[in-house]
Amino acid sequence: MSEIDMRSLWKAIEGYIPLGRSGLLPALHAAQGLYGWISEPVAEEIARALKVPLADVHGVIEFYSLFYNRPAGRRVVHVCVDPACALCGSERLVDDLCAQYGVTPGQVSADGEITIERSPCLGLCEHAPAVWTTGGDRWWIGAPGSERTFPPSVVYGSVRWLTVHCGNGTADLARYGPYRGLEKAYQMTPQAVIAEVKASGLMGRGGAAFPTGVKWEGAARAEGWPKYVVCNTDESEPGTFKDRVLLLDDPHGVIEGMCIAAYAIGASRGYFYVRGEYPYLVPILEKALAEARAAGYLGNGFDVEIRLGAGAYICGEETALFESIEGKRGFPRVKPPFPTTHGLFGKPTVINNVETLRNVPIILERGAAAYRSLGTEKSPGTKLFCLSGDVGRPGLYEAPFGITLRELLEMAGGVDGKLQAVLLGGAAGAFATADHLDVRLTFEDLRAAGLPLGSGVVMVFNDQRDLRRALLRLAEFFAHESCGKCYPCQMGTQRQVEILKRLVNGRWRPKDRQRLQDVGWTMTDASLCGLGQTAASAVLSAMALWPEWFE
């Protein structure tokens, strides 16, 4: 590496050197933005500067799919091949682009200009087929030659509590207005704020549905300093895009929720952990955070940093996310201890999903009783649903808990064709059929029907779709995204793919049905974290609904 290159590298990473290991991911992003990939000399210099063992630096580079330890094209074209985009012909688009540039997926074109990548979900399901093109520190939406600025958010709903500012471009602080929920919180004790959140019945919106107030209470009572508030922005569930819309169009609503959480638990530091496929959110968040500091909402005892991930679905799991912020591979931790007592950097931490935090200012401003005026007793408030696939108007829909699946689909323009199935909850979800159309979309009603709400994915398949191929895509997603830490998930996701390939290719063996069930239930019962525990959910639900496919 020349002296000029060395000087450029140090200029790019110097701001992260004081952070030590926790500055590793941003330093690697900066280096890759400078050179297009991370060579051995660059990795060595980053290891030396941050005082991180070189083996650990290589381990991190190889763990995250968006870091390259080999030359890549000046533009890398990521084409989503997960179910919503596959329904819209993304596989054909991959073939066409590869033929156009004379490459195979992952290969660099002869002129060094293009690399085509088959990508997991890009969180652009309502604009399928989704293509995300990067080059240096720039990004585009769309394939080469048809790139465009980011498409406007597609937002509908019978109620617009959470999405009041969405669909009209990014809301700056002047349009968002003062942080009224935070101002009201400051007039209460931290204990009273937690009591109000508990009284609202707010449940986590990331998929686990844990009571938010109970989580805050645990962190508030925990010993240890400092305390942290983390916004989980690693929205990677295939079919999910609600958090992207909220942060694109209404970042201040989420920042205000983080400020209220920090006041309630006594936190001094907050983090946005943004998934690597959402780099365009970073300048929007940086601008919003600067506005909040200028207005005095941040910087007076509590402030927020941004950490950009690098392509790892597992980092949506809360403890794997902590590991990533700390500059490590995103391996989930064994629990207990739980994040409320031993979270980020081993300190008490509240980690909430974007949609969860956006609810908090509404609860504080309106009061718990008003918040509970919508929804049901056990599922109060509104929910964001991500509709994609064979539906008239794909997009983000806000509706009160208690709406039926039939009513939601009618709101979205109905099914294109005859309904075959609806995948609820995303890749980790399960299938509903026409028999479930009148099930109310609440935590309690879906649980009684054996269906998950998850993160709010509603992916529609008409009767012309081959659901067995969709199952294979979901299985390939989990096999690709398994971190490999625990054996049931590491091997189980691979075996699941192998068996489903035989099903799709007409090579089904006599005992494959039993093998598929055994693999699925073993992963469900024995995996360390939620990825492995739900990797077979959609497959097992299909086996129960359509047993004739697996005979």
Statement to judge: residues 457 and 477 lie in one domain: no
Statement to judge: residues 302 and 210 lie in one domain: yes
pLDDT range class, residue 493, cuts 50, 70, 90? very high
pLDDT at 152: 86
Domain boundary among 447, 462, 477: 462
pLDDT at 410: 98
Statement to judge: residues 166 and 59 lie in one domain: no
pLDDT range class, residue 137, cuts 50, 70, 90? low
- pLDDT tens-digit series, residues 423-452: 999 999 999 999 999 999 999 999 999 999
Cα distance between residue 374 and residue 49, in whole Å: 54
pLDDT at 136: 64
Residue at 146 is within a domain: no
Statement to judge: residues 170 and 45 lie in one domain: no
What value does the mean pLDDT of the chain take? 95
Domain that holds residue 122: 75-141
Residue at 435 is within a domain: yes
- pLDDT tens-digit series, residues 1-39: 445 578 899 999 999 999 999 999 999 999 999 999 999
Element spanning 488, H or E: helix 487-504
End-to-end CA distance of the chain: 60
Question: Which tokens sit at 489?
Answer: 């998930």
- For residue 89, pLDDT over 80 is answered with yes
Statement to judge: residues 325 and 178 lie in one domain: yes
Statement to judge: residues 85 and 171 lie in one domain: no
- For residue 143, pLDDT over 90 is answered with no
Statement to judge: residues 214 and 105 lie in one domain: no
pLDDT range class, residue 551, cuts 50, 70, 90? confident
Statement to judge: residues 506 and 387 lie in one domain: no
Whether cis (ω within 30° of 0) applies to the bond prior to 336 is yes
pLDDT at 243: 96
Task: Please name the residues in contact with 506: beta carbons below 8 A apart, sequence gap of 6 or more.
Answer: none
Statement to judge: residues 220 and 364 lie in one domain: yes
- pLDDT tens-digit series, residues 455-471: 999 999 999 999 999 99
What does residue 18 show for φ and ψ, rounded to 5 degrees?
-65, -20
Statement to judge: residues 168 and 254 lie in one domain: yes
pLDDT at 236: 92
- pLDDT tens-digit series, residues 474-483: 999 999 999 9
Give the CA angle between residues 34, 35, 40 to the nearest 5°.
125
Domain boundary among 408, 428, 462: 462
Average pLDDT over residues 312-341: 97
pLDDT at 120: 93
Output the pTM of the full model.
Answer: 0.96
Residue at 210 is within a domain: yes
Statement to judge: residues 220 and 316 lie in one domain: yes
- pLDDT tens-digit series, residues 220-273: 999 999 999 999 999 999 999 999 999 999 999 999 999 999 999 999 999 999
Domain boundary among 11, 34, 63: 63
Statement to judge: residues 505 and 418 lie in one domain: no
pLDDT at 144: 82
Encode burial over 199-209: b for 16+ CB neighbours within 10 A, e otherwise.
bbbbbbbbbeb
Average pLDDT over residues 542-551: 94
